[in-house]
Structure 1
Amino acid sequence: MEFRALKQTELHMWSNLCNMVFNKNSENDPHSFLQLYENDPWKDQNNILVAVESGKIVSTVQIYCRFTMLGTQEIKTGFIGGVCTNPDYTGQGLASKLLNHAVDLMRQNEFHISMLTSGIGSFYERLGWQNVQWHWKTMSFAIDNTPCEDFTVRPIRMEDIDSIRFIHSEHSKNFNGPIVRNNDDYWKQKIQIENKTCWVAVDTSGEIIAYLWLYAREEDNYICIIEYGQSAFTRGGM
């Protein structure tokens, strides 16, 4: 078994493995992982680690290099994702070996912190990650169609991106963890691939004063707020 970084010629093989493991019961685009990689402005194939046997990729781990806000500082962060193994090769500790390799690689490249989300936290705790509590709020609501005189709400347009980018930059400084999105390509490319439904609030002068990204599931009227931001001038008034 060979453990190393992915080669350029293996991108499709890697994408096929991820799709087989994560999308086996869905109708998602079979090339979705490759598309996400290609549209990542921070992509680096050296951050995709693989276990290879007889020329076949059987396990993989990906490091997403980002900068995140912590206090008022921007810190280099390695997000772990795409951890998967071919079902025929599970139980051999391949993912664990790749994750340990990923930790060594992040240390060599002077990452300050590593983060991930998972439903099997105990597995990652054994490898050195620490569990951090997430806080969620759920609520029931009714649709309010009362007209508002101060602002209107409409779907996002591509010409809104610069305004949203500015609001995100200012709003995210108040929290720990937001990704620093100072890359032009992110806003031009990646956001168009990753976004769900997005709405903006526009004041009477036509200025965008807030935005909201959400995921809506019509079959059970479920809505999840993915991200939001509002202008400093509107805080407390919306």
Structure 2
Amino acid sequence: MSKADDINAGLVIRTLCSGDYPAAKEIVRRSFDDHLQQNPGVMEEYENEPWYDPEHLLVAETEGRVVSQMGVRTGTLWIDGSEYPAGLVGTVCTLPEFRGSGIGAEMMRGAFAWMDTRGLALSYLHTSEARHGFYGRLGYRLSSYFSARTIIEVGKLEPPSEDAAICRATPRDAGVLNQLYEAHYGMGSGAWSRTEPFWVRRLEGKPKLWFTGEPEFWIMEEREPFAYIALVAGAPARIVEFACPDLNLPAAGRLLSHTVSRLGVREVEITIGRRDPLWPVLKDYRTTDRTSRGNVLIRVQDRRKFLNLAGKLLRERADRLDLNFEIRLTDTGETLSEHGSGETIVLSLSLHELGALIYSGGRIHELLAAGVVVLEGGKVEDLIELFPENYPSRCALDGY
């Protein structure tokens, strides 16, 4: 029997107990030392972060020793404005001396079981390109997302003016900020739901794993709060979130101007791209769009729940486009269809590839060329309309 067989024979995957935190933190330290050096103090707060509480951490134990840990949490993933219950996987790491023995795959299977008990339609994660093969063997498929980033140049530097409608947020505003975040970012694709405890910690200035810097949150209100900005001083100065669900552009412009004045710098990086509904508020600035494209991994978790949600979304799109479709799932033998009077698209692909395309259709040409998606009837142009590039994005503070 090999060493890996010996390890896995006695391997137990379970939720973390409070007494496991020292071991879990040591695993994270030894796995992500470069990041932790840029974010001092974050591990001292690890067990206080709601995303890393015992309910949301799994560990692998062998011979009485915790050797691997991972975070997995539930939430809402918004896709084209629709809500998908999903599981976010992150901070997956194993002690160096135990890597290569199959523990990571067993941990992921434990995460799938954890998600199955919670009725989640999708599983979602970000990772390095070097790990794509590992997760691909577990059913994950590549999809695309966009990291919206624009540099705005400030003309004449002005001291921040007094504006009675603008104030700095405090922990008492956690609920309001959570509502504004969900209402604004839920209109698009790729954003995750949060919780009030998450917001309380950000407003208390607590450090967060996978985010460098201490954001300040500024709220604009009239009868009630309706917009906020999160800014981080430094080089470069950053506006990492900008939410205004009712798209009151003049008021949003006032909030942005006030925030830029507070930073007191000639250049600010803001997480808005040309497709963002708030892009018009940048009209008074010289801008350089540096939006980039990256990869995200998607896996269908609850097949029935996902197909119900995906079928509804595809039928809505097909009705709007006057299209019919027949989608044949090669691995399950099931078919999704919509029949009417328009042009008909017939295609074949796997269940997990359908999940990735629902998240975003940005890779459709690549998948057709590779034969992963087979168009058996209809036009490529219509297929692209049915599976559009959603330009999904992820807020920097949602790193996991």
TM-score bin, normalised by smaller chain: 0.7 to 0.9
Question: How many Å separate the matches in 2 of 1:173 and 1:46?
Answer: 25
Q: TM-score, normalised by structure 1?
A: 0.76
Match of 1:179 in 2: 192
Alignment map for 1:74-85 (pairs within 5 Å) = 74-85=83-94
% identical equivalent positions: 18
Residue equivalent to 2:227: 210
Cα distance, 1:94 vs. partner? 1.3
Which residues of 2 match residues 28-107 of structure 1 at below 5 A?
28-29=40-41, 31-32=43-44, 35-40=45-50, 45=54, 47-71=56-80, 73-107=82-116
Quick one: distance in 1 between partners of 2:226 and 2:160?
14
Map 1:1-238 to 2 at 5 A.
Answer: 1=7, 2-5=11-14, 6-23=16-33, 26=37, 28-29=40-41, 31-32=43-44, 35-40=45-50, 45=54, 47-71=56-80, 73-120=82-129, 121-144=132-155, 145=157, 155-181=168-194, 183-189=195-201, 192=204, 193=206, 194=208, 196-200=214-218, 202=220, 208-215=225-232, 218=234, 221-223=235-237, 225-232=239-246, 234-235=248-249, 238=253
What runs of 5+ residues in structure 2 fail to find an aligned partner? 1-6, 254-400
Change (3 A) 1:23 1:98: same
Q: CA deviation at 1:12?
A: 2.0
Amino acid aligned to 1:212: I
Q: Which runs of 5+ in 1 are unaligned?
A: none
Greater percentage in helix: 2
Contact 1:39 1:190 in 2 (8 A): no
Letter paired with 1:177: G
**With structure 2 as the length reference, what TM-score do the two structures score?**
0.49
Residues 161, 187 of structure 1: 8 Å contact kept: yes
Aligned residues: 230
Deviating more after overlay: 70-79 vs 129-138: 70-79
Residue-by-residue CA offset, 1:27-79 (whole Å, 9 max, x unaligned): 623734xx344330x66635433222332211222212223334555432211
Structure of larger gyration radius: 2
1:113-140 superposed Cα distances (whole Å, 9 cap, x missing partner): 1111111333322221111112134444
Deviation at 1:99, TM superposition (A): 0.9
AA at the equivalent of 2:133: S
Partners in 2 of 1:114 and 1:225 — Cα distance? 29
**CA distance 1:43–1:91, shift in 2 (3 Å):** closer
Residue 134 of structure 1: SS of its match in structure 2? strand
Q: Which has the higher contact order (CA 8 A, sep 6+)?
A: 2
